[in-house]
Chains A and B, each alone.
Chain A
Amino acid sequence: DGGITQSPKYLFRKEGQNVTLSCEQNLNHDAMYWYRQDPGQGLRLIYYSQIVNDFQKGDIAEGYSVSREKKESFPLTVTSAQKNPTAFYLCASSSGAYNEQFFGPGTRLTVL
């Protein structure tokens, strides 16, 4: 059953703590992406990776970090430097840079 999984579905964090969101895909896609969605808004790009061991900042990368050690996995760390971390985070993948992107079910992060 191919697809993109994200965990956890809901995450609560205290101010000042770092937290890592998981994204895994078994579609054999080369490219992976992280987006953030705020209420009533469209998605905005945080980071993207076209190949293993390489990633690039998106429009709103400040306060976030990523790694891409395996083709299947692209974890996102929300650091304490991110001023407004409460949001809905979605991971996506595609077979190539210009190809159709597919999304995971998302993680809702709430900072208490």
Chain B
Amino acid sequence: GIQVEQSPPDLILQEGANSTLRCNFSDSVNNLQWFHQNPWGQLINLFYIPSGTKQNGRLSATTVATERYSLLYISSSQTTDSGVYFCAVLYSGGGADGLTFGKGTHLIIQP
């Protein structure tokens, strides 16, 4: 099956800093999503981005499907940005099944 690797696994930053989270995947995909998991476990949709670039406030994402990676940018970090960020993909050769998740990046924003 498809492999999804996220880096870094852990990231500790001061409030106001910028960060870049990376997601590498091993094969072609039909769907790529970024999620933020809050302390209560809820997965919050950030971006649906199988290719191209999108921006939403302080967050933006870029997926280069031909090179099999995606980047999530967080600017001017706030303490509420803390949590785990997941990248998940839908393998295009696997039929219409579910998402394959990376292990996540654990982000801690210190005041």
Contact = CB atoms under 8 A, between A and B. Distances in A.
Interface of A: 31, 33, 35, 37, 40-45, 48, 50, 56, 58-59, 88, 90, 92, 97-103, 105-106, 108
Given A98-B90, A100-B31, A102-B45, A59 B1 contact: yes
Contacts of B43: 90, 103
A43 B48 contact: no
Among A50, A58, A97, A101, residue most surrounded by chain B Cβ atoms (within 10 Å)? A101
B72 interface: no
Nearest to B49: A100
Size category of the B interface is 20 to 34
A103 B98 contact: no
A36 to B, nearest CB: 11
B105 to A, nearest CB: 11
Contacts, number: 62
Interface of B: 1, 4, 30-31, 33, 35, 40-43, 45, 48, 86, 88, 90, 96-104
B99 A45 contact: yes
Nearest to A41: B103
Among B30, B33, B98, B103, residue most surrounded by chain A Cβ atoms (within 10 Å)? B98
A100 B98 contact: no
A40 B31 CA distance: 24
B98 A105 contact: no
A100 B96 contact: no
Contact of A45 (B4, B42, B98): B98
Contact of B98 (A37, A58, A88, A102): A58
B45 A100 contact: yes
Contact of A97 (B41, B96, B103): B96
